[in-house]
Amino acid sequence: MSGLASTDEALAILAAVKAKRGYLLPHHGLLALTAPRLARAYDEAYTALTLDPRALSEFEKEFVWLPILIATGEAIATHHIAKFKAAGGDDRGVETCLRLAAFARGARDFRFVGQHWNDLLPGFGRERAYRDALQALMHDRGAEAGLVEAAMAATHACLAQWEEVAIHIRGAYLLGLPEVKLAEALSLVMFPGSVPHFVEAARVWRDLVKSNAVAASPALRSWAAIDQSGFDGKV
């Protein structure tokens, strides 16, 4: 069984992390001392996930991050507020992200009425009512519609609200949001929302592609056609 890393090795790892991010958190030092290989791999994964430029602009990425962090109660990640503002956001934009997170939590109430009161409300349509309320909430907020769909899909994934994830994946396609942007938004779920939730969100997307519920690209159709069942054959 291997022991602790040398102080010099751990400090070198931490110096590299701080130089890249501008801050350190307690788990960085713990990993650097007890699992230096994992510490480096973790930092590389975090860099590829959140720091390296991909499809989303910096503003778009932080707009997705903020409701994810609010919905998951990730109080320590305050640097994302600074990054959002550095990318062109403002306090009103932060409040818009707060509205999205709070609305995502309220989705269960639309689900409840749809499941239990639908017979008493013949004119009620759960998804229509949900959409109408979201549109009213976003009125005059200046948020790009496709970006709202991506942020809501990711936020619902953190909350394990899979029917709503599907609603917003479909919405993103209807608005013409590039698949790579939607994929990046959902991938941000992995750290604060958990990898299992990202796995399930990918399953929801795959099922929508397989059922032709979205106009997926040939590349995503090829992905959906691959057998991706888990150990128990259920995924």
User: Is residue 232's pLDDT more than 90?
Assistant: no
- Count CA atoms closer than 13 A to 132's CA, side-chain side: 7
Q: Which residues contact 166 (CB under 8 A, 6 or more apart)?
A: 204, 207, 208, 213
Which pLDDT belongs to residue 197? 97
More confident site: 230 or 90: 90
* pLDDT tens digits, one per residue of 137-187: 999 999 999 999 999 999 999 999 999 999 999 999 999 999 999 999 999
Other CB atoms within 10 Å distance of the CB of residue 128: 11
d(CA 187, CA 233): 23
Mean pLDDT within 85-111: 97
Look at residue 235 in the predicted model and tell me its pLDDT. 63
Phi, psi of 46 (to 5 degrees): -65, -40
Q: What is the pLDDT of residues 19-41, one digit of tens each?
A: 988 888 899 999 999 999 999 99
- Whether the pLDDT of residue 126 is over 90: the answer is yes
Cα(42)–Cα(49) distance, rounded to whole angstroms? Answer: 10
**Cβ neighbours of residue 159 under 8 Å, at least 6 residues apart?**
71, 104, 105
The pLDDT score that the predictor gives to residue 5 is 82
pLDDT value at 91 more than 60 = yes
Q: Percentage of the chain with pLDDT > 70?
A: 97
215-224 pLDDT, tens digit each: 999 999 999 9
Taking the C-alpha atoms of residue 96 and residue 159, their distance in angstroms, rounded to an integer, is 18
Q: Quick one: pLDDT at residue 1?
A: 46
31: which residues sit within 8 A by CB, 6+ positions away? 38, 39, 42
pLDDT at 209 over 90: yes
pTM: 0.91
Q: Does residue 3 surpass a pLDDT of 90?
A: no
Mean pLDDT to the nearest integer, 204-210: 97
Residues 104/64, Cβ–Cβ less than 8 Å = no
- Under the banding of pLDDT at 50, 70 and 90, the label for residue 204 is very high
